Every structure is written in C-alpha cells, then in structure tokens.
Amino acid sequence: MERYGKNMKKIICAVMALLMLLSLAACTSSDKSDCEQIKESGKLVIGITIYEPMNYYEKDGKTLTGFDTDFATAVCNELGIEPEFRVIDWKTKETELKSKNIDCIWNGLTILEERKENMSFTTPYLVNRQVAVINKEDAEKYATKTALESAIITAESGSAGETSIGEDASLSKATYIASETQQAALISLNAGNSDVAIVDYTTAEANCGKGDYQDLMILESVEIPDELYAIGFRLDSDMTEKTNEIISKLISNGTLKEIAEKYDLVEEYEAAVNR
C-alpha cells in the first residue's frame, strides 16, 4: 500500500507540473502583443468583401487584385510577412475582429464614430463618399432628392451607405431593402428589384456605364458628405501604430501614390493625405 501511495504522489506531482507548464505557456502567448503574434505567425489575416476597385478578382476568377489588395501586400512586405485575404460577412466584421478570426478589416472601411467603439483606425488613406446610383432611364424621374422618398433603395447591410440612408431626411423616407454586398446592391438595381443603390463612390465610378452596368449612372443631385477610408485593427492594438509608420513610409517614397495611379484613385488619395 505504501508503494501505491508513493506512485500516486508521483502521478499527482507530474500532473501538477504539466498543468503549471500549460498555464505558463498560455500566459506567455496571451502576453504577446498583436504585432508580435502576427510576425510570429508570418501572416496578416485581412477581412475583406469583394468589390471593385478595392478587392476583386481578375478575369480568371482566381487572382485577387485591387487598391486595398496591393496596399496590404506592400505593408506586409515591409513587415516581412504574407497577407492572407479572408472574405467575411460585412455585417459581422466587428465580431470577426474581436474574436481574432481576422487581424484587421481592410476593404474600403469608412471611419464612423460608432465604429471607433469597436476598433482602432489607422491614418486615413482615401477620401470617399456615398452616392446614389440609378438607371439612366430614371434620370428625369429622380431629378430631385425629394423624389427619392417614393423609391425602393438598397445598400450593403452594415455599410456606411446604409448609415447614410438612415441619417438623410429624404432617403430615410424611402422603402429600404438590404443587400449582402455593394456588388449585390448594383445587381439588384440592374435587375429592377430596386430603384436606387447607395454605394461607395469608388465602387460606382469603377462600375457605372461599363460592362453589365452600362445602363447605370451616378445621380449627382444626391450629395452625401465626404468620408475617409482607413484600416481597422482591434482596440488598443499595437498594429495600428506600426502600420501608421509603414503608411508614412509608403507615402514618402511614392509607393502608395503609384498604387492609387494604377486604380485611378489619385484624386481620392491626395485629398486624404493632404488633409
């Protein structure tokens, strides 16, 4: 019996030692900053949706391209890591970020006061605005903003476009239907399921009057205030400051302007960095 007692003590001691090691390892992992963990993993997991010109697929349907795609790749090159782009549901982007399923949101993300409660924003890099897109044949019908009060309006769920509809005196009176993405909003409009789509100017400019959307146009009579794009990291993340340092370098050496030129966004880029 004494032998069994000694063996049991050894087993208990071994288990306790193992638990202490596991606890120490957990503490060590949790003590690492976002930047340290990301560099250790060798990749930055970036939450995106698919829309031109920020993040979209080339004609082969496989190669991801776009302003934010190239921008993120340039930043990751400076960090010595790889970007991993992950398509997310835009409605749950804050949850994805907080739960660490992604490291950041980098997809034409507008700085909004309510979003500052859930994420840390980097230096703004593009000026954007929300615009109303209609079919060209409805140009006279919706010549005034008040005429939109009787329209069926769509926007991406959880987007700045959706927010602007709720805040506008005329747009808020219209019938609203949510779309999964900005591209889905344009598809809805093109198919006649809605009369107006509120989307980012960058999206509208890249699509209206071209290809499948050749009959769509921006309704200039609807003026919505400018907004700013930035990258969203977790609250208090040291990646925000680190990324700001790299953004400053990419602005100084002309890399970011070259990317803007590639996607015809120089005006929006210069308006942001010269503020």
Query: Residue 245 above 90 pLDDT?
Result: yes
Query: Residue 26 above 60 pLDDT?
Result: no
Phi, psi of 126 (to 5 degrees): -145, 145
pLDDT tens-digit series, residues 145-166: 899 999 999 999 999 999 999 9
pLDDT tens-digit series, residues 167-188: 999 999 999 999 999 999 999 9
**Average pLDDT, integer, range 107-129:** 95
Q: What percent of the chain has pLDDT over 70?
A: 89
Q: Is the dihedral of CA 171, 125, 206, 116 positive or negative?
A: negative
Query: What is residue 143's predicted lDDT score, i.e. its pLDDT?
Result: 87
Query: What is residue 10's predicted lDDT score, i.e. its pLDDT?
Result: 53
Query: What is residue 19's predicted lDDT score, i.e. its pLDDT?
Result: 47
Strands 175-179 and 152-156 come out as parallel
**Average pLDDT, integer, range 252-271:** 97
Query: What is residue 4's predicted lDDT score, i.e. its pLDDT?
Result: 47
Q: pLDDT-based confidence at 78, cuts 50/70/90?
A: very high
> Distances from the Cα of 249 to the Cαs of 54, 90, 241, 243, in angstroms?
21, 30, 13, 10
Query: What is residue 144's predicted lDDT score, i.e. its pLDDT?
Result: 87
Q: pLDDT-based confidence at 15, cuts 50/70/90?
A: very low
Query: What is residue 52's predicted lDDT score, i.e. its pLDDT?
Result: 92
Q: What mean pLDDT is reported for the chain?
A: 90
* Cut 0.85: pTM above it: no
Structural domains of the chain, ranges and CATH numbers in brackets: 34-125+230-273 (3.40.190.10), 129-227 (3.40.190.10)
